[in-house]
Amino acid sequence: MRSLNETLSVKQAANPDGRLIDKVVMITGAASGIGREIALTFASEGAMVVIADLDRQAAQRTAAEIDPTGKRALGVAMDVGDEEQVEIGMGQAIQAFGRLDVLVSNAGIQIVGPLVEFEFAKWKKLLSIHLDGAFLTTRAALRQMYKQNSGSIIYMGSVHSKEASPLKAAYVTAKHGLIGLAKVVAKEGAAHGVRANVICPGFVRTPLVEKQIPEQARAFGISEAEVVKNIMLKETVDGEFTTVQDVAEAALFLAAFPSSALTGQSLVVSHGWSMQ
């Protein structure tokens, strides 16, 4: 069986016209789930990728899977809610690859619970990772992108950037907030060649969602199968989960888009759960 790296090399060789050849991309939360798949997809399209994650070992493992020589993939430890760690991680990325073309602000967590008893510490933790993280990584990325006069920033929103669900006050608040941030970045960044957009996925079976299924079953007093069928996928047109590959394709489309016509937008990828 081919190793992942051989698979990527084969794909790159078969795809000399990759859509991100030699673009430098930082993806936060890329040691797992959606971010990891975006890193693999972007690398197979010719990008040099920086895997930034709270979990240093997993970040370095993912980078080594993509390129064991370290020439085209770098794993950095970063808590996106920590100003100093973001500055250091961004510095390492720019030192390694000399520029930054795309930031995918993806790191995120979920904490569910009724608003009436939601702990303030948990509210602040969730908002810090999603919103402080998006702000701090954006600010660090913009400094470099403005020097280059080009760049693309992609925020990982959610259908919960558009819709609400019970038990998810902090998450829904944070994900709506990302749309506001993206619109401001689109307006301020335009003069410097920087675009900003949001991807809004439906439910994707990553560790983040696997954890929620039993939590919601307990909270609503229903079975896990009912959580999936009657809560998570109820509003989709076909009862299907969105996949990490679906989201990575949307990220590739936004990252590779050739002009500033596409900026300040949010793209919903959710099997029709949310329609605009």
Interface with ligand NAD by CB under 6 A: which residues?
A: 28-29, 31-35, 53-55, 78-81, 106-109, 129, 156, 158, 201, 203-204, 206-209
DSSP-derived 3-state class of residue 145: helix
Residue with Cβ nearer ligand NAD (77 or 96): 77
Of the residues 42, 135, 171, 203, which is catalytic?
A: 171
Taking the complex as a whole, the smallest distance from the CB of residue 70 to ligand NAD amounts, in Å, to: 20
146 tagged catalytic: no
Query: For the chain, give me the number of helices (H) and strands (E)?
Result: 10, 7
Distance CA 257, CA 263 (A): 10
Phi, psi of 103 (to 5 degrees): -115, 125
Residue with Cβ nearer ligand NAD (56 or 99): 56
Distance CA 174, CA 183 (A): 15
DSSP-derived 3-state class of residue 275: coil
Taking the complex as a whole, the smallest distance from the CB of residue 21 to ligand NAD amounts, in Å, to: 26
Distance CA 17, CA 178 (A): 32
Which candidate, 135, 129, 119, places its Cα nearest to that of 81?
Answer: 129
Report DSSP letters for 63-109, one per residue: HHHH-TTSSSEEEEE--TT-HHHHHHHHHHHHHHHS---EEEE----
Residue with Cβ nearer ligand NAD (48 or 129): 129
Residue with Cβ nearer ligand NAD (33 or 151): 33
DSSP-derived 3-state class of residue 199: strand
Distance CA 53, CA 60 (A): 9
Contact between 170 and 111 under an 8 Å Cβ cutoff? The reply is yes
Residue with Cβ nearer ligand NAD (78 or 186): 78
Taking the complex as a whole, the smallest distance from the CB of residue 191 to ligand NAD amounts, in Å, to: 28
Distance CA 86, CA 265 (A): 25
DSSP-derived 3-state class of residue 50: strand
Taking the complex as a whole, the smallest distance from the CB of residue 166 to ligand NAD amounts, in Å, to: 17
Residue with Cβ nearer ligand NAD (18 or 167): 167
Annotated catalytic sites, by residue?
Answer: 171
